[in-house]
Structure 1
Amino acid sequence: MHYFVSSALSSIALLLTANLPQPVIAQAPPIRAYQQKATDDARKAQVLDQQQKSAPTRFDLQQYPISDRHLTHWQESLWAIGVLAPEKEYALQALENVMRLATANNLSDPQKAIIDTAFQVGHQLYTLKPAVYSKLRQQFLRTINDSTDPMWVAIALSALSKAPIYPELKPNSGRTGDRSQQATQINKLTQKVKQKFPNWAQDPHLKTTFQTINQNINNGKNLDLSRASLPSLKDLLAWEIAPQQAQMYVFCRPNRDVLCLSVLKDGNGKFVQQGKQLWSAPLLLQSIHNLDWNFTNGRTPQGIYRMEGVSRQPDDEYFHAYGQFSLVNLFVPFESGVTAFLPKQKGRFTGNLEAYQALLPASWRNYAPIQQTYWAGNMGRSLFRIHGSGAAINFFSNKSAVVSNQNFDWNATLGCLSALEIYDDRGSLLKSDMPKILDALQKVGRGKVEGYLVVVDIPSDADQPVTKEEIMKYSLLRL
């Protein structure tokens, strides 16, 4: 696993490995109706900045060798390719040049970090924009054949398993036989990886990637089977992870293109009302890189998070990434920085899987998807937040491929839970859900954020967001 990340990249991207402000008690901050960085001129300047950072000259290997010295340069440039998704051969070549190093020996940590970025962006463009980037298939296959790094091999296998059958590339595609052939090819690659890494069951990236691929194949064939495997939501909604602790539930669809729905329960087990209705707030839990939950910057994992404090936005430094409002801090098992993952037990969660399972109702303890936060923390994922966004809703060129048109006002992230925050061309705030979320958490926490958040995917025949009515029918909620 590779953790060396440039702070410069963190500040320009939605990358939460940046040094955020110190956690503080929850307070709904005053709303700034005007944001200079949200004006039309500022938006154009942001796009121009990305165009400059993705210019062909930035990828000249003689001028900018892939070395420790050029870590920030390469990460910023590769990120910009991901933002703009240019249909240019030079961008493809740039990714190939970096990904080719995945089979090299004696790489430094900064070099590994550059390769990490290339694989994340390459995964995004290969799976979402095949007109140019389908040629990355050879680099992914080369990685599977020759790389000794299990994480890069896992990302390569994930990308190949997700590659859709594109009519513009294969005019006769889309038939059942084509998809069956693709599944057969992925199964062969999976067996090759297992032979290459005989201890794959002890490597969390490989193990979870195999599980995800298998689930996608089986669930795609049988939605009823997927639905039947979901434990009782009544049990989950009635359960207390710890006494006198608020609990927020975020219910999603397996297709994270559509919105999730959050509801909130106070420390007494009573669901919060908004007027005479169940309090709720829509959130988007999608990865702009189209990565699964088990990779850094992938989708938000299902499972239990400790909710503890907020990180304030003292100025405009991080406005583009997070918007103007405070961020709600979420912690996964094994993550440092939490005061107490479990009440009356200081520090991070360090228990085994059985200890994590004990935080769940009995009917949920053997349900693998609800264990994702445990394994994500084990693999080093961290710094999850609930936050808004100061970026324009069309900032990411590939956004329409990972976010449904019906909720295009929400921006995808790199693993965080995205709340609505939109501005007009003059920089005036039109709407934001963060004040509502912060206010509700402050009230149930008596002035501070403290409790748990649980993310669960609910399968459905239609790719439509989860509704309040759907949640209420699972239990006689106490309002």
Structure 2
Amino acid sequence: MHLRPLLALLALALAACAPLTPQPPPPEKRYTAAELRALQPADFAWPATSEAGERALRRQVLADIHSTLVLPPGPARDAALPALFDRVAHHNAEIEAARPLLLAVLPTLGQREPEFQRALLTAAHTLYAAEAAPLLWPLLPQLTASKPFAIAAATLLQAEPGAAARLADIVPRQFPAWADDARLTALMQRLAPAAADAPPLSELLAAPLRPGLPVIFSLQRPGRQAMGLALVRGADGRFVRDAAGQLFTSPQLALARSGLPGTLTNGNTPQGLFTIVGAGTATNPNIGPTPYLHSKLPVEATVAEFEHAPVADGAAWSEAAYDSFLPARWRHWPPIKEAWLAGRAGRDELLVHGTTVNPAYYAGSAYFPGTPQQGCLISSERWDAASGRLVASQHLSLAQAYATASVREDLAGYLLVVEVPGPGPVTAAEALALVTATGR
């Protein structure tokens, strides 16, 4: 079994999925719809996915982890901790050995910079929630920035089922203006009683959004611990089918390695509407060379980028502008606004892409063979262990289905992520039933 590490030391990543040691990125190529349709898996190779490349990088990563673990307490070790825990979580390596370092630093976070707090609290949520929880309650009053506070709260909710009521009391006292902060708004929604059932999904799947533009619908399970499924609706409003008339579906993972909510840095893909503004090659080695679809959140994208049409000078984002894309009953269902809140919170670069990560890292997980990263929507790819050449790509199949369904060479369109309750991976039969209900 080959271990295909996440090549986090080799190139400069896109902001959403940044590696640990940046280097100058190669020039990015952008693709038209025609260029995307013409690609074949054999057009792409990534040498570090070969057995030899994996082995070399694995040795390097483990050496870097061990060099940090043996550092004496002090500023040098503290400075190395964010990168250490990123590697540990990423490679499922030395989790037990790193635990004491995390638990020792947590009580000191009140005196640290917010970005250091964010990184270490994210590690606590990802790796050590149960052990960290008792240390987080006394830390909460010292977390004056909303992002670290929200990460700590998410960790407590994960570790202690009864934490919601206590947190719901703390938030408005500690942050009287919480309603003006997108992260705290999302947290308070999570702390409130469960929202009513979603409106009929058929209404959302049939919604025009903006007529004449294609849409990728990504159907995901709540909690994201199972593979979701992507569908493509063409510019003509009909869902894409193959030559035999079967509905096109493609497995897709919307789980971040941290498992944090979608409004937080490196959290899960938020639920809701994105715009798609083209395709390009990533500078992130975890994504690899297969062209990604360039999806953007509200606020990250301008109003014009969402409309894919000219807008009035000075057109500004508002919740009403976001709502205008949704069918009437869905405008009043808070969970579909997570993308709007995530954009307001500053999340960006959440792309639709493939992966150079070997799924062997996640063997035995509920979402296997998915490979979670840092909030993007990820489809599986298979690379040849001898040559590092791409053998098969579910992502390329999805991107080409979208390109074929487009009427514009700039690939303008939409991505809509929506959760579908149920056990296990989202199935093609479920998707077909939902599409059949739309009459499309």
TM-score, normalized by length of structure 1? 0.78
Q: Which string of whole-angstrom CA distances, capped at 9 and with x for unpartnered residues, describes residues 370-426 of structure 1?
A: 11110000000010111111111134xxx468x41xx51221121111111023532
Q: Structure 1 residues 456, 285: closer, same or farther in 2, change over 3 A?
A: same
Question: Match of 2:307, SS?
Answer: coil
Instruction: Say if 1:389 and 1:421, in contact at 8 Å, map to a contact too.
Output: yes
Structure 2: which amino acid aligns with 1:458? V
Deviation readout 1:334-361 (Å, 9 max, x if unpaired): 0058972213236998321122111111
Aligned equivalents of 1:333 and 1:295: distance in 2?
15
Change in 2 beyond 3 A, CA 1:88/1:322: closer
Which position in structure 1 is the counterpart of 2:60?
Answer: 49
Q: Is the 8 A contact 2:267 2:374 kept in 1?
A: yes
Question: 1:340 touches 1:348 (CA, 8 Å); kept in 2?
Answer: no
Deviation at 1:471, TM superposition (A): 4.0
- Residue 463 in structure 1 maps to residue 424 in structure 2: yes
Q: Is the 8 A contact 1:252 1:260 kept in 2?
A: yes
* Identical positions, percent: 22
Counterpart for residue 79 of structure 1: 86
Counterparts in 2 of 1:230 and 1:21: CA distance versus 1, 3 Å: same
Contact persistence 1:409–1:422 (CA under 8 A) = no
- Indicate how the Cα distance of structure 1 residues 126 and 336 shifts in structure 2: closer, same or farther if over 3 A, else same: same
Q: Does 1:449 align with 2:411?
A: yes
- In structure 2, the partner of 1:335 is 300
Q: 1 CA distance for matches of 2:136 and 2:60? A: 30
CA distance in 1, matches of 2:289, 2:134: 42
Q: Deviations for 1:109-143, whole angstroms, at most 9, x for unmatched residues?
A: xx53333222212210024xxxxxx4322432232
Structure 1 stretch displaced more, 347-356 or 76-85: 347-356
Q: Distance in 2 between matches of 1:311 and 1:348?
A: 28
Structure 2 counterpart of 1:422: 382
Match of 2:144 among 145, 148, 154: 148
Aligned residue type for 1:117: A
Any residues of structure 2 matched to 1:245-260 within 5 Å, and which?
Answer: 245-260=213-228
* Alpha-carbon shift at residue 21 of structure 1 (Å): 2.7
Structure 1 pair 245–333 and aligned structure 2 pair: CA distance change class (3 A): same
Letter in 1 for 2:154: S
Corresponding residue to 2:41 among 31, 44, 53: 31
1:61: Cα distance to partner?
4.3
CA distance, structure 2, for counterparts of residue 208 and residue 63 of structure 1? 35
State the match for 1:267 in structure 2: 235
The 5 Å alignment of 1:342-357 reads 342-345=307-310, 350-357=316-323
- 2:342 alignment partner, one of 365, 376, 389: 376
SS of the counterpart of 1:340?
helix
CA distance in 2, matches of 1:137, 1:34: 44
- Corresponding position of 1:360: 326
Hey, what does 1:437 align to over in structure 2? 398
2:278 counterpart residue number: 309
Q: Which runs of 5+ in 1 are unaligned?
A: 1-6, 128-133, 164-181, 219-225
Q: Which amino acid aligns with 1:325?
A: T
Higher relative contact order (CA 8 A, sep 6+): 2
**What SS does the aligned partner of 2:144 have?**
coil
Amino acid at match of 1:41: A
Cα-to-partner distance string for 1:255-284 (whole Å, 9 max, x where unaligned): 311111111112221221112111221101
2:118 to 116, 119, 123: 116
User: What letter corresponds to residue 169 of structure 2 in structure 1?
Assistant: Q
Q: Name the CA shift for 1:318/1:354 in 2 (closer, same or farther; >3 Å).
A: closer
Aligned to 1:131: none
Separation in 2 of the partners of 1:262 and 1:139? 40
Aligned to 1:102: 109
Contact 2:202–2:434 (Cα < 8 Å) also in 1? no
Matched positions, count: 418
How many Å separate the matches in 1 of 2:30 and 2:127? 35
SS at match of 1:64: helix
Amino acid at match of 1:301: P
* CA distance in structure 2 between the partners assigned to 1:88 and 1:409 by the alignment: 21
| Cα distance between partner residues in 2 of 1:382 and 1:390 | 21
For the aligned residues, what is the CA RMSD? 3.1
1:236 aligns to 2:204 (yes or no): yes
Q: What pairs up with 1:203-218 in 2 under 5 angstroms?
A: 203-214=181-192, 218=194
Classify the secondary structure of the residue corresponding to 2:41. coil
Letter in 1 for 2:62: Q
Q: CA deviation at 1:34?
A: 5.2
Task: Measure the CA separation in 2 of the matches of 1:409 and 1:454.
Answer: 23
Q: Distance in 1 between matches of 2:217 and 2:314?
A: 21
CA, structure 1 residues 53+141, in 2 after alignment: closer, same or farther (shift >3 Å)?
A: farther
Alpha-carbon distance between aligned partners in 1 of 2:298 and 2:148, rounded to the nearest angstrom: 23
Specify the code of the residue in structure 1 equivalent to 2:139: T
Q: Partners of 1:424 and 1:83 in 2: how far apart? A: 22
Deviation for aligned residue 1:25:
2.6
Contact 1:264 1:272 in 2 (8 A): yes
Q: Which runs of 5+ in 2 are unaligned?
A: 1-7, 20-24
**What is the distance in 2 between the residues matched to 1:65 and 1:184?**
35
CA distance in 1, matches of 2:51, 2:18: 28
Matched, 1:162 2:158: yes
Q: Secondary structure at the match of 1:372?
A: helix
Aligned amino acid, residue 204 of structure 1: A
The structure-2 alpha-carbon separation of the partners of 1:385 and 1:271, relative to structure 1 and needing over 3 Å to count, comes to same
What TM-score does the superposition give when structure 2 sets the normalisation length? 0.84
Distance 1:467 1:53 in 2: 43
